[in-house]
Structure 1
Amino acid sequence: MAAKARELKNQGVDIIGLSLGEPDFNTPEFIKDAAIQAVKDNYNSYSPVDGYADLKTAICEKFKRDNGLEYQASQIVVSTGAKQSIANVCMVLLDPDDEVLLPAPYWVSYSAIATLAEAKSIIIPSSIEDDFKITPEQLEAAITPKTKLVMFNSPNNPSGTIYTEAEYRALGAVLQKYPDIFILSDEIYEHINYGTPYFSIAAIDELYDRTITVNGVAKAFAMTGWRIGYIGAPEWIAKACNKMQGQITSGANCIAQRATIAAVSAPASQIQYMVDEFNNRRGLILNLLSKIPGFKLNEPQGAFYVFPDISSYFGKTIKGKTIENANDFALFLLEEAHVATVTGDAFGNSDCIRISYAASEEDIKTAVERIKNALS
């Protein structure tokens, strides 16, 4: 789909991109200032594999302040983006034929990383009627003697769903019965939250010693290109990730690490202006999409995506093109409405498409109007 969008753009077609998974804001000035100061201070040498000591200390303080989690510096590993953090964890924990439970919808790279680690992904489905959340009963039914890891992502990409403390505790009660299963909690969208009290699953005392908390600065601080992610984990897992990373990329970019100290040390109020703007756009796009027949919507509580169920269009022919699935629908929107979205198949849900509202209000209005006209 991305290749097709580029092809059309190269032909001069005006494509509105609502497919991107990154903020459309610039990095805040106080973070850029920290990076500039790092350059002036001659940070230019290889960094420690697991990150600068003062950055790891700042991350520990962030975990305690924002999540109520107590980590020591020896439990922190800084990586080249949260994707590498997740890959490190999978490479050190998973053996061939281990099973990884993925509550769907899930971020596209989870299943691919599990495959690279020679493990098998087990998809636990959800639907828009359930607000894209799985139940404790579903979780337990998916567990087998081969289950090694379960990956949670809240706020979720692509649905924007947030698990509440009560919901996580109910899922955690199931996992307490299976002490050999590890939990990876991807919290990269933590601060892009529209009012749900945030809860980290590692805050459940009985699960702390087998939970790996993944976070980073890409989304909340508009730093996608700076490539800094990190984990808080049991010390033995952190040490193993350090060894793995040391043979692949070594330490993350030195200037980006110095800038990240400023980011993770800042109160959430420093980036609230971005969250407020995303919230305004959320209301706008939900209102506009609700006027298109056949779009089934829920209200995402975090991140910057909507994940409408468009399965009502399956089997229909529009403008001479037959829509059989979400891939066909996303391609139709690209070719007919000139709007780029992402098929839900990529996220383990074939009834939906992901639409990003990390775009200007003008682009959102124009894109939805194009979609409405193409489907009419």
Structure 2
Amino acid sequence: MGFLSEALGRVAPSATVGITQKAREMARAGRDVIALSAGEPDFDTPLHVRQAAIEAMNAGKTRYTNVDGIPELKEAVAAKFRRDNGLEVTAADCFVSSGGKQIIFNALMATLNPGDEVVVPVPYWVSYPEIVRLCGAEPVFAVADASTGFKLTPEVLERAITPATKWLILNTPSNPSGAAYTADELKNLAAVLLRHEHVHILTDDIYEVLVYDGGTFATIAQVEPALQARTLTMNGVSKSHAMTGWRIGYCTGPRQLLGAMTKLQSQSTTNPSSISQWAAVAALEGPQDFLAEWREVFQNRRDLVVAGLTADTGLDCLTPEGAFYVFPSCQRLLGKTSAGGTRLATDEEFVLALLEETGVALVHGMAFGLPGHFRLSYAASNAELEEAVRRIQAFCGGIS
């Protein structure tokens, strides 16, 4: 054990990866599994993006690039932030990495010291607190449960901030809850942050294009320009263009921070994949009309799932405003026994019993910091979702 680092000992493995891997192993063993545990669009990467990658390969664009991204992609990223988010930035204010997770890791690794604190709203994406701990700092959890629509309130944010706070991490629309902050809600949080000049904001906007019911996406540096100088606005093409495997994330933020992130990346992965970068240029500069169709498909799937999960199941499920997750409460079913004889003391035992007895793979709420819930990703076909909902209903109906 002494061979491994103390830093690694502070980090827990990803629960979403663990459940997804278990589901894959069951499927390989011949089980009928419906995996709704991973957050990955089920659409193909748009054709024009794939063609751009092929053209880049054929043109010999397969060499090392600038550490923080090719100029063409940084220009496209800056144009995207100006066009979609009202952020007046140039390519010099932008940075590209191998996925959004690397941007978060780079930013926190480049800025955190032992004793620093990072405010993380609960429920959170599983990697936020683990990256903070890996950097030697402490996550401070600010609960934003179903009573507030899974949204952080100004009062809770105010109580979480201390002199040691270095960052607040915001994620809208949210993984795992699907909660999407309105411009007014962000403005209210910004009012708190304006009083605490030592706090920087990392906003994870990776689900930006997936806001439903005619809602409008907003990001915090857009609604409060006075915060832009201490905000890192992160995004990527994984969810917006079904490019999870291409591994391209991008951001805009203070140039001093971007310089530090570049220094760190130069000694870790160096540049992102050159081919993926050229594909991302096509993604950001090419047609975006398909997004409206994708959004409609996801909204219909959301409605299908929410209706099914709240149909006399004992589950309580808010209707999310964005992303492609629902985060129901199974609290009323805990302490009981499944039809297969499993005592359901925790949300983890609930999802493991569901997987074993029905083949439906979900992720337990404790993995996201909020026990008594589970996350279901509806980035799957309608047929799969309908069958999954039927199995979940039958499972819940057999609990006594």
Provide the TM-score with structure 2 as the length reference.
Answer: 0.92
1:102 aligns with 2:120: yes
1:84 aligns with 2:105: no
Name the SS for the 1:133 alignment partner. coil
Q: Describe the shift of the 1:6–1:33 C-alpha distance in structure 2 as closer, same or farther (beyond 3 A).
A: closer
**Alpha-carbon displacement from aligned partner over 1:14-42 (angstroms, at most 9, x marks no partner):** 11111120000100001111111111211
1:28 aligns with 2:46: yes
> Which residue of structure 2 aligns with residue 199 of structure 1?
218
Which of 253, 260, 263 is the aligned partner of 1:233?
253
Question: What is the distance in 2 between the residues matched to 1:327 and 1:193?
Answer: 29
**Alpha-carbon displacement from aligned partner over 1:107-142 (angstroms, at most 9, x marks no partner):** 111011101110101111122231101110000001
1:310 aligns with 2:326: no
**Alpha-carbon displacement from aligned partner over 1:160-203 (angstroms, at most 9, x marks no partner):** 10011110010010011110110000000000111221111012
> Which residue of structure 1 aligns with residue 191 of structure 2?
173
Question: What is the distance in 2 between the residues matched to 1:326 and 1:122?
Answer: 23
* Counterpart contact for 1:74–1:238, Cα < 8 Å: no
Q: Describe the shift of the 1:269–1:40 C-alpha distance in structure 2 as closer, same or farther (beyond 3 A).
A: same
Question: What is the distance in 1 between the residues matched to 2:313 and 2:27?
Answer: 29
Which of 16, 26, 51 is the aligned partner of 1:8?
26
How much has 1:277 moved relative to structure 2? Answer: 1.0
> Which residue of structure 2 aligns with residue 47 of structure 1?
65
* Counterpart contact for 1:55–1:257, Cα < 8 Å: yes
1:153 aligns with 2:171: yes
How much has 1:272 moved relative to structure 2? Answer: 2.0
> Which residue of structure 2 aligns with residue 295 of structure 1?
315
**Alpha-carbon displacement from aligned partner over 1:42-81 (angstroms, at most 9, x marks no partner):** 1011011010011101110000000000112122110000
What amino acid does structure 2 have at the position aligned with 1:213? Answer: T
Name the SS for the 1:93 alignment partner. coil
* Counterpart contact for 1:191–1:268, Cα < 8 Å: no
**Alpha-carbon displacement from aligned partner over 1:267-306 (angstroms, at most 9, x marks no partner):** 5423222111111111111111121421111111111111
> Which residue of structure 2 aligns with residue 335 of structure 1?
356
Question: What is the distance in 1 between the residues matched to 2:159 and 2:114?
Answer: 22
Question: What is the distance in 1 between the residues matched to 2:20 and 2:57?
Answer: 35
Name the SS for the 2:343 alignment partner. strand
Question: What is the distance in 1 between the residues matched to 2:287 and 2:114?
Answer: 42
- Structure 1: segments with no counterpart, 5+ residues: none
1:252 aligns with 2:272: yes
> Which residue of structure 2 aligns with residue 117 of structure 1?
135
What amino acid does structure 1 have at the position aligned with 2:170? Answer: F
1:187 aligns with 2:205: yes
What amino acid does structure 2 have at the position aligned with 1:196? Answer: G
What amino acid does structure 1 have at the position aligned with 2:326? Answer: V
The equivalences for 1:63-74 within 5 A come to 63-74=81-92
Q: Describe the shift of the 1:171–1:218 C-alpha distance in structure 2 as closer, same or farther (beyond 3 A).
A: same
Question: What is the distance in 2 between the residues matched to 1:197 and 1:279?
Answer: 14
* Counterpart contact for 1:35–1:259, Cα < 8 Å: yes
Runs ≥4 in structure 1, deviation > 6 angstroms? none
1:363 aligns with 2:363: no
Name the SS for the 1:252 alignment partner. coil
Which of 227, 230, 235 is the aligned partner of 1:210?
230
* Counterpart contact for 1:154–1:189, Cα < 8 Å: yes
Question: What is the distance in 2 between the residues matched to 1:3 and 1:325?
Answer: 21
1:277 aligns with 2:280: no
Higher mean alpha-carbon deviation, 198-207 vs 57-66, is at: 198-207
1:349 aligns with 2:370: yes
How much has 1:3 moved relative to structure 2? Answer: 4.2
Which of 159, 169, 181 is the aligned partner of 1:163?
181
How much has 1:159 moved relative to structure 2? Answer: 0.7
Question: What is the distance in 1 between the residues matched to 2:306 and 2:91?
Answer: 42
Question: What is the distance in 1 between the residues matched to 2:139 and 2:48?
Answer: 41
* Counterpart contact for 2:308–2:393, Cα < 8 Å: no
Name the SS for the 1:163 alignment partner. coil
1:374 aligns with 2:395: yes
Name the SS for the 1:370 alignment partner. helix
* Counterpart contact for 1:81–1:228, Cα < 8 Å: yes
Question: What is the distance in 1 between the residues matched to 2:182 and 2:288?
Answer: 20
Name the SS for the 2:289 alignment partner. helix
What amino acid does structure 1 have at the position aligned with 2:354? Answer: L
RMSD of aligned residue pairs (Cα, Å): 1.1
Name the SS for the 1:141 alignment partner. helix
Question: What is the distance in 2 between the residues matched to 1:224 and 1:4?
Answer: 20
Q: Describe the shift of the 1:74–1:137 C-alpha distance in structure 2 as closer, same or farther (beyond 3 A).
A: same
Question: What is the distance in 2 between the residues matched to 1:92 and 1:3?
Answer: 31
Which of 146, 156, 161 is the aligned partner of 1:128?
146
Name the SS for the 2:120 alignment partner. strand
Provide the TM-score with structure 1 as the length reference.
Answer: 0.98
Number of aligned residue pairs: 376
How much has 1:329 moved relative to structure 2? Answer: 0.8
